[in-house]
Structures are given as structure tokens and as C-alpha cells.
Amino acid sequence: MDSSAILVEIPRLRRYARALLGNRAAADDLVQDTLERAWARFGQWRAGSDLRAWLFSIMHNLRVDQLRRRGAATQAIDDDDGLLSTRPTQSDALEVRDIESALGQLPDEQREVLLLVSLEEMSYADVALTLAIPVGTVMSRLSRGRERLRMIMAGQPPAARLRVVR
Amino acid sequence: MSNYPISENDLHAYVDAVLPAVKEADVAAYLAAHPDTAERVLAYQAQKLALAALFNPALDEALPQNLHALALPPPEVRAESGFMARRSLQRIAAGVLLVLVGGAAGWLAQGQYQAAASIARLSPLARQAAVAHAVFSPDLRRPVEVGAEHEDQLVAWLSKRMGRSIRPPRLGPLGFEMIGGRLLPGNSEPVAQFMYQDAAGQRLTLYVSTENTANQETAFRFAQEGKVNVFYWIDGEFGYALSASIAKDQLARVATAVYDQIEHK
């Protein structure tokens, strides 16, 4: 790993962490933890492989550990569009159209995928690698996340089931 | 149009512009025939743009000292350099392989590349402009990044970021006053959006892009995306798209005025 390559990735890690956590200080703490863990494990990184995906996967694993320590539910919720592990927001009816507060109302798993695709513009396959989940799961989380966000922004409670286009 | 069904995954790949050109044209045709789905897709495109506009400024912020320092290995790592945890490396490699096998199986194997602009039913310029209009024109709190009262700063800032001199047209004689502008993420380069408003509060946006304009000159073209009407054209190195939810003939008059001012500047 060389320093200039890492330096290029730090702003991207910050942007993602801020969008994920909705809190600037907590986001920078997560970035710091990510970089420290990356250096502690730099022997695991193979020269020539995708540094960005590797750093994002470290951040993802740290985040999962954090939620686990806090006792928050982190089991997969793909079959149940429940309200598990959404992050706290101060949203009220007036703010509901605000994309930032709407984002905060998504389950963690959906928010991660949505942000890696939307902000990072990662391919679906890279998102699957980064999060260590199958591509099918990436697509279902993306689909649920986008639809849920749309319903929240439209001021409607999220639909229990998504219509499937035939 | 092919006979293959359009799947939910296709719609998302369309939003993310990763479909092969032929498939993208199929989806565009499908959307043209299914307004409800088209509206849903437009909302997803708007989400993506709004997220980028909200969080991309974080990329330009100066790094805090503690993070900047971590671009270099911390002292304890430097001391141990060469150390390597082989067992966990093997575990990671095995996990990566499993995911790769799973990922390679699906329709994603078709790979991703940008569709040829000429094949998409609605031009990317018109589509992006309509989405940007739909996202920002209803915003009451912060429709623009820099207000018209700071027009000099706005012009200097946008020109610098676009790498070219760019100046908003004056539409006062047509009843529209500029309220300001903002910079938006394009596919590869930033784009500018100027926003205008008439006495009734009706808003109109002018989207100025330098993407995909090489060697193309076009006359006015008209497109409709949901409730948003768009006139767009390419002139020199700029693509322009004027969007508003106003009648086509009224929008055409404004577009003509914009075109004339740019021509005779």
C-alpha cells in the first residue's frame, strides 16, 4: 500500500461514512478506525488488487462490529422489511421530504448498498465483494432501499411488498 | 423492441446507466409505455442525484490532521513491517472466491458500459436536466447553492469548476429573474444549473453541460419527462437544456431568448 494511493481514498471514505452515519464526528472516527485497521492488516492486501474495495470492506466490517457491540440487531432482514437497525433521526412530519432524514430511516443494510451504488458508483459485483454478500442480495437490498426511500419522500408509509415488473 | 421481459433489476441497472445499449433502449421503450414505472424510475434517478449533491461536497473538504497522518503507516506498523497473518489471508481469499462465483452467474456477466447516446430514447442531456429540475426546483429552503445577489461570484465559481467561461442569460424581459445556480455531478464532468423564477413563483432551470458535446451541433429538440417539459440543444462545446413545468410554446419562447443571447454574447 502506498501513501498517495491511500490519501486519494480518504475523502471517499469520509463521504460514505458521513452518509452512512449521518453524523460528521462519528463518521470521521469510523474513517480513522478503518485506516488504523488497514495499516494493522496491510499484509493482507495484495498489490494490484482493488484498494478502494478493500478499504470499504474494512469499514463495513468495523461498522458491523460496532452495531454488534451495541447490541443492535444486525441479522439479515431481506425477507422482512422491518425497522431493524435504522439509525436514530430527529425526523418529524415536516422533514420527511428531506432526503437526508429519509436516508436515516432506511435499515442499515439497505442504506449501505444504496450509498455504495449511488455515491461510490460501484458496480453491483463490487458491492457484493465489498459487503461479502451475493449479487442477488445486493439487488434486492437496492430495490427495497430505493423504493422505501421513494415512499418516505412521497410522505407515504413504505409498502409492505414491492410490485414486480413483468 | 425485443420480447424479453423487463425485470426489476433491469430498471435499477437503467437508473445506474450500466445496461448494454440494446437493453437500455428496451427499457426506455418499456418506460415510454408504462408511465407509472417511468415515474418510479425518475424518482430513483432523482434520489441518486440528490444524494450526490448532498454528500459530494465532503470530497472537497480539507482532511483533519489525524486522518491525513494516517495516509502513512503508524509507527508500530512500520516497526513490524513484513509481518503477515497468513491464516486470515487464506480465509479472505476463500470468501472472495465464493462471492465471485455467485456474482459471475447472473445477468451482470454482461458487463457494464455506457450506452450509446443515440440509441437511448430520450437524450441523456434532456433526461438529466429534467431530473435535476425535478429535484431542485421544488426546494423551498435551498434551491440554489449561490444566490443571484452574488452573481459575480457565481459566474467565477462555475466557470472555474467547468473549466470554461460560462454566464447565465438574462430572462427578465420574459418575466423570469435568476435566483441563483448550483454545480451538479455529471457522468464525468460537473454541470451547472441556473434557476429562474417568475412573479407567480413558477421556476425554470437552465442546465449547462460540457459532456458528449464534441462535434455535435443540434437544433432545438423537445422532450417531456413526467410533468417537466425540456427544450435542449448543443451549441459549440456546451449542451443546454431548459426545463420547466410550463406550456411548450411559452418554454419555446424562453429557449429562443436563451439561444439568441448565447449566440450574440
Residue B195 is placed in which grid cell? 434557476
Q: Which of B116, B140, B174 is the last residue of a domain?
A: B116
- Eight-state DSSP code of residue B168: P
Based on the domain organization, do B64 and B155 belong to the same domain? no
Quick one: pLDDT at residue A39? Answer: 85
Confidence category of residue B44, pLDDT binned at 50, 70, 90: very high
Spell out which residues of chain B touch residue A134, defining contact as CB-CB under 8 Å: 99, 102-103
Residues B235 and B184 in one domain: yes
Distance to chain A for B45, nearest Cα, Å: 9
Residues B33 and B84 in one domain: yes
Domain endpoint, select from B60, B83, B116: B116
Grid cell of A69 as nine digits: 457491540
Residues of B in contact with A19 (CB under 8 A): 51, 54-55
Looking up residue B237, the CATH number of its domain turns out to be 3.30.200.100
C-alpha cell at B176: 423570469
**Averaged over A26-38, what is the pLDDT?**
92
Cα separation of B217 and B209, whole Å?
Answer: 14
Biggest CA–CA distance in chain A, Å, is: 50
Residues of B whose CB is below 8 A from A41: 85, 88
Of the pLDDT bands very low, low, confident and very high (cuts 50, 70, 90), residue A72 is low
The band of B108, judged by pLDDT with boundaries at 50, 70 and 90, is very low
ipTM: 0.79
Strand partners, B240: B208, B233
C-alpha cell at A144: 427495497
- The backbone region for B122, taken as left when phi is positive above 0, alpha when psi lies in -120 to 50, beta otherwise, is beta
B184 plus B142 within the same structural domain = yes
The pLDDT, as a whole number, for residue A127 is 94
pLDDT digits (tens, 9 = 90+) for B192-215: 999 999 988 899 999 999 887 765
Residues of A in contact with B47 (CB under 8 A): 99, 118, 146, 149-150, 153
**Claim to verify: residue B112 and residue B129 sit in the same structural domain:** no
Q: Do residue B243 and residue B154 come from a single domain? A: yes
**Among B47, B67, B100, beta carbon nearest to A35:** B67
Inter-chain contact A118–B58, Cβ cutoff 8 Å?
Answer: no
Give counts: helices (H), strands (E), chain A. Answer: 7, 0
Query: Does residue B131 sit in the same domain as residue B18?
Result: no
Give me A30's grid cell: 469510523
Min Cα separation A29/chain B (Å): 9
Give the residue carrying C-alpha cell 472516527: A29
Stretch B86-111: mean pLDDT: 42
Q: How many domains is chain B built from?
A: 2
Chain A residue with minimum CA distance to B64: A28
B259 in the same domain as B150: yes
Q: Is A84 exposed, middle or buried (0-12, 13-18, 19+ CB in 10 A)?
A: middle
What is the pLDDT at residue B192?
92
Q: Is B5 exposed, middle or buried (0-12, 13-18, 19+ CB in 10 A)?
A: exposed
* CA B75 – CA B81 distance, rounded (Å): 10
- Cβ atoms of A30 and B64 within 8 Å: the answer is no
Question: Does one domain contain both B157 and B216?
Answer: yes
Q: Which residue has the higher pLDDT, B243 or B82?
A: B243
Note down the domain range covering B19. 1-116
**Residue A43 has which C-alpha cell?**
499484509
Q: Does position B165 have pLDDT exceeding 90, yes or no?
A: no
> B-chain residues within 8 Å CB-CB of A124?
13, 18, 103, 108
Residue in B48, B85, B108 closest to A124 by CB: B108
The residue written with cell numbers 458508483 in the block is A121
- Residues B174-196: pLDDT tens digits? 899 999 998 887 777 888 999 99
Asked if the model's pLDDT at residue A150 lies above 80, the reply is: yes
List the single residue in A with minimal CA-CA distance to B188. Answer: A121
| Out of A79-83, B19-23, B173-177, B213-217, least confident range | A79-83
User: Does B195 or B224 have the greater pLDDT score?
Assistant: B195
Q: Is A156 on the interface with B (CB under 8 A)?
A: no
Put simply, the answer to whether B74 touches A115 (Cβ < 8 Å) is no
Distance, C-alpha A109 to centroid of its chain: 6
**Interhelix angle B86-105/A135-153, nearest 10 degrees:** 70
A58 φ, ψ to 5°? Answer: -65, -45
Q: Are residues B200 and B104 in the same domain?
A: no
> Which of A84-88, A107-111, B142-146, B161-165 has the weakest average pLDDT?
A84-88
Residue of A nearest to B66 (CA): A32
Whether residues B105 and B131 fall in one domain: no
Q: Residue B77: list chain A partners with CB under 8 A.
A: 39-40, 42
Domains of chain A: 1-74 (1.10.1740.10), 82-166 (1.10.10.10)
Domain check: are B135 and B112 in the same one?
Answer: no
| pLDDT range class, residue B98, cuts 50, 70, 90 | very low
Contact call for A19 and B64, based on CB within 8 A: no
The string of DSSP letters for A96-156 reads: TT-HHHHHHTSBHHHHHHHHHHHTS---HHHHHHHHT--HHHHHHHHHHHHHHHHHHHTT-
| Identity at A20, one-letter amino acid code | L
B76-105 mean pLDDT: 46
- Reported as half-sphere exposure (CB side, CA atoms, 13 A), residue B141 has a value of 4
**Of B116, B135, B161, which one is at a domain's C-terminal end?**
B116
> Which residue reads 498489490 in cell numbers?
A47
Backbone φ, ψ for residue B192 (5° rounding): -110, 145
* Per-residue pLDDT at B104: 41
Query: Which amino acid is present at B232?
Result: Y
Q: What is the pLDDT of residue B54?
A: 87
